[in-house]
Amino acid sequence: MARPRLRDRIAALAAARADAGAVRVQRRVDRREGTRAVVDGRRLLNFCSNDYLGLAEHPEVRDALVAAAPLHGVGAAASAVVCGHHAIHARLEEALADWLGAQRALLFGSGYQANLGVLQALLGATAKDGEALCVQDRLNHASLIDGARLAGCALRRYPHADAEGAGRQLRASPDAPALIATDGVFSMDGDIAPLRELALLARAESALLYVDDAHGVGVLGREGAGSAAAAGLGRGDALQLVTFGKALGGQGAAVVGDAALIEHIAQHARAHVYTTAPSPALAAAMLASVAVARREQWRRAKLQALIARFRRGAGQLGLPLAESFTPIQPILLGDNAAALAASRVLEEAGIWVAAIRPPTVPQGQARLRVALSAAHGEEDIDMLLDALCLACAGAPKPIQPAHRLLAEG
């Protein structure tokens, strides 16, 4: 029997994606102008970006990047454990630890890379005390799932945001060293994990809690310290991931927590040891971004006001909105074709909102993922709501112009 050809397998998978309406299309952004983006030659109002605080083009952040390049160079030139750990990297790690109230931070090139490295280092099969256990929320980011698979540990997933379900999974393996991993803010639903309950569970079961707070840091908590701070968790309650590509407007990530844990990760995370360190110039920009995020509370206040305005208008329009009070506002349409069609109608109206489909979300839960930013204005929210009148004309309540509804409200 002839060996199946890999190219034939790839062609079959491509055909299946097309039939399911699941083909992803990479758009070309020619330039950005605040909340506007020129996409494939057309200027659109952008509601796709994770730049929640509007810091990606902040003058202080851009100036820090430009000023640092002549001093520190663009690239780090080596891994952090060889000669790639620059003074500016150390300053950024110290600032992050201070901001999040932790003992130490460790930089990574991206949040995805960090999750792979952290879970491999903490749960890897080389542990002398037997196979480790990773208990995860079913809606966790793909990098957390992949990190557990790379580690070779036992992976069990509990129903979304169900701390009792997590407890059942832990108690099923009482002799295994264990880690609970969860998103802080879930990237496609916008809801917040029950971190207080998970922290109590972790303490009771002698497990470690790891919070991927990519979408929470900068947005939630005092000075934007994230979902763990908003939940009232104290120092030592959780290991926390902060990424720079969302509210901080840059690129890269760091793991923040207990000094002994961070040192273990620095020694054993292959994704840290065997890769070039992040750009020193970009580290300088992120240091400036952290300072602005902590200082300018008005950005979080404005963002919350825009979220409230959008939810009020969407509710009056009868849109199928998920229960989220973060900048991530999903409009649940269910069908892939419906989500794609709604996204096209919005783009025709000059608005860019991504249609999110399986496997990024579960089957039957295709949606428009609206992402709000402090850089948006009230008029941008009203323009979006008016366009959604056309894009989601099948909503359960009669659609009226959003600006009229908001004025009446």
Q: Binding site for pyridoxal 5'-phosphate, residues?
A: 111-112, 187, 215, 243
Residue 300 exposure: Cα atoms within 13 Å on the Cβ side: 19
Note whether 380 and 303 are within 8 A (CB).
no
User: Encoding tokens for residue 200?
Assistant: 């109590």
User: Encoding tokens for residue 47?
Assistant: 């509601």
Count of beta carbons in the 10 Å neighbourhood of residue 183: 26
State the DSSP H helix or E strand holding residue 197, giving kind and residue range, or none if neither. Answer: helix 195-204
Q: How far is CA 15 from CA 9, 19, 25, 336, 358, in A?
A: 10, 6, 15, 16, 15
Neighbouring residues of 82: CB distance < 8 A, sequence distance ≥ 6: none
**Distance separating alpha carbons of residues 22 and 9, to the nearest angstrom:** 17
Spot the catalytic one: 58, 246, 302, 376. Answer: 246
Active site residue 187: yes
User: ∠ at Cα 72 (69, 73), nearest 5°?
Assistant: 55
DSSP single-letter state for residue 243:
E
User: Encoding tokens for residue 262?
Assistant: 């961070």
Annotated binding site: 24, 111-112, 141, 187, 215, 243, 360
Annotated binding site for substrate: 24, 141, 360
Spot the catalytic one: 143, 187, 343, 373. Answer: 187
Spot the catalytic one: 58, 86, 89, 215. Answer: 215
Q: How far is CA 57 from CA 188, 286, 305, 381, in A?
A: 24, 12, 22, 20
**Distance separating alpha carbons of residues 391 and 347, to the nearest angstrom:** 10
Catalytic residue positions?
187, 215, 246
